[in-house]
Amino acid sequence: MIQRLPLGYKQLPLVATVSIFILMYGFGSFRYTGFLSSQVFLNLLIDNSFLIVLAVGMTFVIISGGIDLSVGSVIALTSMVAASLTMNANLSPLIVVPICLLVGSIIGGVQGSLIHFFNLQPFIVTLAGMFLARGLSYVISVETIAIDHPFFDFMANTRIPILGDSFITISVLIALIIVIIAVFIGHSTKFGRNVYAIGGSEQSANLMGLPVGRTKILIYTFSGFCASVGGLIFTFYMRSGYGLHANGMELDTIAAVVIGGTLLTGGAGYVAGSLFGVLILGIIQTIIVYEGTLSSWWTKIAIGVLLLLFIVLQRIIVIRSEKKQNSS
């Protein structure tokens, strides 16, 4: 969680998110044999570990009142950099991994700087970043670069036993560590409080003397860093680099964060909510797989319906907030 607030209207989206997840999981458990097994739940984390990391970074961005459309392209660029440096340049993973993390962090930092110093709209700046990162991926190679390296094989195939025969992967461990760090940052640091203050009212944050510019740059740098971590996890998952990897992933990330209860207008949201938002996307896919007769496109339809419902809920919350402020 990012902000300590008493249960009220700003917590309604989070309550709705958790309730929907419980209802969907209960529905699946009641309808399908084996759905209640622990491995089915853990598979939600395994299959969506990279999306969890992306959602963490995007949560901070949206809470601040911004948006980051470049994260999917940064995943592709990270995968291409990792594959190229590992297979073509024969560099050690001890060198490749830090370089990959720097790629997203630098892109995010540059975007944050442009948004702050030139007072540009985040949508336009990160849209440009999206095209730039995707283009750079193709500069490296227009073909898929398969990765055949012991380190990537280890990261992809290692299973960590949990609850008897159930297991998770190293990627899940990385994703959960990122979530815990993000929760700590939001709860216990000035940076977390500044993010909320900027999202609530940037003008008021400036009048209060908060470091708005520095915070904005750090927000987008952190989002870029999370995109690179997600890119590495995605590379472990796919064991290849390709310029079309994660095409449209930024939209899935935004959907997960909004379904997780973060207000698009900024100022309210929870990292834990975004985690549940990702799990909801995962459980929709799992139910469709178990059903067997439904097309995979029903996943997009279900996500679209949920997204519309949460946007309407957010609008109601904003209207109530404005009425409350006017009455006081």
Q: How far is CA 52 from CA 86, 133, 272, in A?
A: 25, 21, 10
What is the torsion angle, in degrees rounded to the nearest 10, for the CA atoms of residue 199, residue 200, residue 204 and residue 206? -10
Q: Are 105 and 98 in contact (CB under 8 A)?
A: no
- Tens-level pLDDT at each residue, the chain (328 residues): 444 434 455 677 888 889 999 999 999 999 998 898 899 999 999 999 999 999 999 999 999 999 999 999 999 999 999 999 999 999 999 999 999 999 999 999 999 999 999 999 999 999 999 999 999 999 999 999 999 999 999 999 999 998 788 999 999 999 999 999 999 998 789 999 999 999 989 999 999 999 999 999 999 999 999 999 999 999 999 999 999 999 999 999 999 999 998 988 888 899 999 999 999 999 999 998 888 877 777 888 888 888 888 888 777 876 776 676 666 6
Q: How many domains does the chain have?
A: 1
| Structure-token match 């830090």, residue found | 98
CA–CA separation, 243 vs 254, rounded Å?
21
Helix ranges (DSSP H) in the chain: 12-31, 38-47, 49-63, 71-83, 93-117, 122-140, 150-157, 170-188, 190-200, 202-207, 212-238, 249-259, 271-291, 297-327
Residue 289 forms part of a structural domain: yes
Residue 246 domain boundaries? 9-323
β partners of residue 97? none
Asked if residue 328 is part of any domain, the answer here is: no
CATH number at residue 104: 1.10.3470
Q: How far apart are CA 13 and CA 21, in angstroms?
A: 12
Element (H, E) at 248: none
Asked if 235 contacts 152 with a C-beta cutoff of 8 angstroms, the reply is: yes
pLDDT tens sequence across 98-130? 999 999 999 999 999 999 999 999 999 999 999
Could you tell me which residues come within 8 angstroms of residue 44 by beta carbon, excluding any fewer than 6 positions away?
Answer: 279, 282, 283, 286
Q: Is 224 a member of any domain?
A: yes
Please check whether residue 4 lies inside any domain of the structure: no
Please give the mean pLDDT across all residues of the chain. Answer: 91
pLDDT of the residue at 316: 80
Dmax over Cα atoms in the chain, in whole Å?
Answer: 66
Per the structure block, which two tokens stand in for 175?
A: 């994703």
- The answer to whether position 195 is within a domain reads yes
* C-alpha to C-alpha distance for 136 and 108, rounded to whole angstroms: 15
> At 146, phi and psi to the nearest 5?
-70, 145
Residue at 247 is within a domain: yes
Closest listed residue to residue 200, CA positions, set 215, 220, 218: 215
Per-residue pLDDT tens digits for 270-307: 999 999 999 999 999 999 888 887 777 788 888 888 88
120 within some domain: yes
Q: What six digits make up the tokens of 201?
A: 């009212």
Q: Which token pair is 108?
A: 């995010």
2 lies in some domain: no
Query: What is the sign of the dihedral through the CA atoms of 315, 316, 317 and 323?
Result: positive
